Each structure stands twice: as structure tokens, then as C-alpha cells.
């Protein structure tokens, strides 16, 4: 298992044990896990984002900490949170991460994630000029999630 996976797993356990709230001191966690604090930062910024249903507060300095809070409680709220966090442009890589997280959290089935992923892949947009792909992808993904949310009601 990669170090980033170990760090993420450790943080997820902390969140589970503390009802969705965890306060982490980067240096302490890094020494516990045998890595550097920048590895902790990387995991937090890549795996605990608003799109993935987390709020991250950070305080730097000697007594600095990172507070991570799990936001959404139900599927509908989570999907709305994701829709609101997408913005005007979305890369294919970001879609892949978001779909994996939605699948891991039980929001999407494996089939649904694969279907949406194929519709939003760069391969699907081969005839669309590069400068328009990310805007089109964001718009289509938002609409797909809205439809998915309505279907699940």
C-alpha cells in the first residue's frame, strides 16, 4: 500500500471514530506514520476536498493543526454539494476522482460511475475543440447529477 493510501486511511479512521470531525497536527501525524508533513498536506489537498464532501480548516505555525469535517449526511445533500462545487470547467481527471469518491461512498454504483465516466471522458469529446471540453464536461456532469438525484427520489 502506498504512503498516501495509508495516510488517507488513517485520517478516514479518525473521522469515523470522531463522528466526522478530526483535528490533525501535521508534524505529529507525519512522525507517527513515518513520512514527511508535505505528504500529509498532499493527501489532505487531494483526497479531502469540498467536491469529496469535506471542509478543511488549517492553522499554520507551532501549534498548527488541520481540522477536517465530513459535510454531507445523505445522498441528495452530497450530490447537491458536488454539483455546487463543480464550477464552470472540469477536467477529465477531476471527473475520474469525483466518480471514484462517489462510488466509494455508495452514492453511485460501479456501473453508474463507469457510464457517467465514459460520457465525460476526453475520448468522448474527441471532435470538440480542446478549449471547450472542460466547460462542456462541467455542464453535462451537473445535468447528469441532477437527473441522477431526481431519479433516486
Cα–Cα dist 85/51, whole Å: 6
* Residues 95-109 pLDDT 10s: 998 898 888 878 899
Q: Are residues 18 and 66 in the same domain?
A: yes
* CB contact burial 78-97 (16+ within 10 A = b; e otherwise): bbebbbeebeeebebebbee
CA distance 34 to 27: 10
Binned at pLDDT 50, 70 and 90, residue 79 comes out as: confident
Write out the residue range of the structural domain in which residue 115 sits. 75-152
79 and 132 belong to one structural domain: yes
In this structure, what is the dihedral angle of CA atoms 125, 126, 128, 131, given to the nearest 10 degrees? 90
What whole-number distance in Å separates Cα of residue 64 and Cα of residue 94? 29
* Cα distances (angstroms) measured from residue 110 to each of 103, 114, 118: 6, 6, 12
Same structural domain for residues 79 and 65?
A: no
Counting the structural domains of the chain, the total is 2
> At 64, phi and psi to the nearest 5?
-65, 155
Q: What is the pLDDT of residues 106-143, one digit of tens each?
A: 889 999 999 999 999 999 999 999 999 999 999 999 99
Amino acid at each position: 500500500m502506498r504512503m498516501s493510501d495509508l495516510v488517507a486511511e488513517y485520517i478516514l479512521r479518525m473521522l469515523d471514530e470522531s463522528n466526522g470531525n478530526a483535528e490533525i497536527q501535521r508534524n505529529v501525524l507525519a512522525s507517527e506514520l513515518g513520512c514527511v508533513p508535505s505528504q500529509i498536506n498532499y493527501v489532505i489537498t487531494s483526497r479531502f476536498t469540498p467536491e469529496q464532501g469535506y471542509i478543511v480548516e488549517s492553522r499554520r505555525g507551532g501549534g498548527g493543526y488541520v481540522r477536517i469535517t465530513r459535510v454531507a449526511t445523505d445522498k441528495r445533500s452530497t450530490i447537491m454539494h458536488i454539483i455546487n462545487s463543480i464550477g464552470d470547467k472540469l477536467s477529465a481527471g477531476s471527473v475520474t476522482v469525483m466518480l471514484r469518491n462517489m462510488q466509494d461512498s455508495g452514492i453511485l454504483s460501479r456501473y453508474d460511475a463507469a457510464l457517467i465516466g465514459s460520457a465525460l471522458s476526453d475520448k468522448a469529446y474527441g471532435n470538440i475543440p480542446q478549449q471547450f471540453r472542460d466547460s462542456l464536461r462541467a455542464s453535462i456532469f451537473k445535468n447528469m447529477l441532477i437527473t441522477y438525484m431526481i431519479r433516486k427520489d
